[in-house]
Structure 1
Amino acid sequence: MSGSTFGLLFRVTNFGESHGPAIGCVIDGCPPGLELSEADIQPDLDRRRPGTSRHVTQRNEPDAVEILSGVYEGRTTGTPICLLIRNTDQRSKDYGNILDTFRPGHADYTYWRRYGLRDPRGGGRSSARLTAPMVAAGAVAKKWLQQRHGTTFAGWMTQLGDVTIPFEDAAQIPVNPFFAPAGEAKVAELEAYMDALRKSGDSVGARLKVVARGVPVGLGEPLFDKLDADIAHAMMGINAVKGVEIGDGFGVVTQRGSEHGDEMLPAGFASNHAGGVLGGLSTGQDLEVSIAIKPTSSIRLPKASVNRAGEPTSVETFGRHDPCVGIRATPIAEAMLALVVMDHVLRWRAQCADVALPVPPLAGRIAPQA
């Protein structure tokens, strides 16, 4: 199947199906000499994996990663790195009722029309389970970028359905199941909201923000390979993502030019409305990306559809599903942003590593001057 490889110099080829024996990826282009083991990758997979709270699918997958190639005596060799994640908790019988019908909002119909057949078990190739290998690849990119450039990545949920989540405390993000930067009261509200939603058999969408800090200046390419264009491409490749914003995003519609343009001062930029990208190239400020994730298509409530003969029918999805797929999407968005940055760092290094300027780059965001 085409469309399974992401990146130009740091290339990740994703393989497998939701209910197959295993899923995984092959990373080609990772620089040699990086210390790498399963322990470097597993923490991000654990953040994404199912069954971690009552608010997500109860499919109990350990998502234990295995490094099959590309590492010798604990260091990357520069050859392809194969990462394997075995599926251990498939329940394919849950999908027997949709073999001849199509779930509204899902990829069942489009895959069938394109290929003439499809794997109905858990959505097959269209399943969000295939984000796990990308998270694994992103962990490799994160480690290299942090060691070579000090670049770090962080993400959090800003909205769950119609409940907005104010940014209160970054320390709370890793200690609650929503990746919410909020205190106990807001987390309790989110839990009550999800409990009611799960009982109703319905689903809801979410909004997430992901940030890259310590990004080198000048990453990106003119015109069609702009850094922000590749970020949007990567984020739209995540299952269920229906919208991407860079910086202020759609908020720029009501801004004036006098407000939006980020002023430059000797000490650095005065603001970051552009989200760390100007002319498709990184400014050295934080890359700021927001994504909108649609409600889960697999729900218990019956919905009208058709079968393969074009006859009317009703579909009720069984199996184990996330009432909000956005809850587990934060590490996925971080990984995809890391893969974009990694690829563009290698592209910059290949073409522009010898470029030298007489003045240092501007610093990141500072308080506007009076």
Structure 2
Amino acid sequence: MRNPLSDKVISIEPSGIRKFFDIVSEMKDAISLGVGEPDFDTPWHIRDEGIYSLEKGRTFYTSNAGLKELKVEICKYLKRRVGLDYDYNLETLVTVGGSEAIDLALRAMINPGDEVLIPQPSYVSYLPCTVLADGVPVVIELKAENQFKLTRQELLDGITPKTKILILPFPNNPTGAIMTREELKEIVEVVIEKDIFVITDEIYSELSYSGNHVSIAEFPGMKERTILINGFSKAYAMTGWRLGYAVGPKEIIEQMIKIHQFAIMCAPTTSQYAAVEALKNGDEDVAAMREAYDQRRRFLVNAFKEMKLECFEPFGAFYVFPCIREFGMTSDEFATRLLKEEKVAVVPGTAFGSCGEGFLRISYAYSLENLKLALERINRFVERLRAEKCN
């Protein structure tokens, strides 16, 4: 029988995040700090709107690009949050989560052989989606000494005549790093000079703890060369509703809609009605969740300092990225032993790129009670490892 499988798909490694999640799901008394999912329920007024839409029989397809009311609210949201004006009808697309928007943007923009710059450590989908779109991923290794921010020189070093797209993953999963306005300005200068496009993944934009989030699309000359991707999973605790969006130049959005039309048809109708309510009346919910995350963030950073475990202070998303190089083992080995010996699941930094070796991603999208118990176990494990080194 002929091989029924695609060589390209076979060559792609499965996500390194799921390995530990699958193990911990069958382990009694284990604590998982591995999944990037809010521990909050979707706020009731948002759920109520979804329920109401079902009660009213709103169960039909929306337009391919999404419900008009939702696209209008997305544009209003971006205007008040980052000062950007988008046409709801021509420059806005509602997708099945932010992940679909990433895939669509890459497939709509890449010709075979085009290079895509991917700063790592970063979200696991960027590289495989580039490969699936017949692009060439070019990894830019971010450095701990720069707090895992993209620098002007790192960007310049990655650019070749074949470079077409830069993926900008800030606030960052897994490091929690952000980019300030001053830091983004240096990136903008290079992007415009070298005439490349940007896909900016801003799914964690509402979870920024050192002032308001800044989008690269705000800068002069950038809106026309940027696809801005966001969604409802993180800010509104709506992961299971599977809803995201992309805004950008109409000629790119038009082609993204074409792919979306044939592959998906439209995002879930019930979720879209709920998202309208989220954008209209969800600011207080977002602020309350952000405050809770910030408390947990500061608790973890201080706990790692007390453990004498090197960890820079993250100012975005809901992750910390401590360094475990002192123990002389790989990130995977450390995470595996921690799970087996102390029943705490974290994600090896290598799940987000090879330059994540020597680091762990720890999510604080969990209750303080769980975090405190997990940190007690991590501290016990770290002390045991240090004692082993001394013997």
TM-score in same-fold range (> 0.5): no
TM class, shorter-length: under 0.3
Choose between structure 1 and 2: higher helix proportion: 2
Higher relative contact order (CA 8 A, sep 6+): 2
The two structures have a TM-score, normalised by structure 2, of 0.26
Choose between structure 1 and 2: higher strand proportion: 1
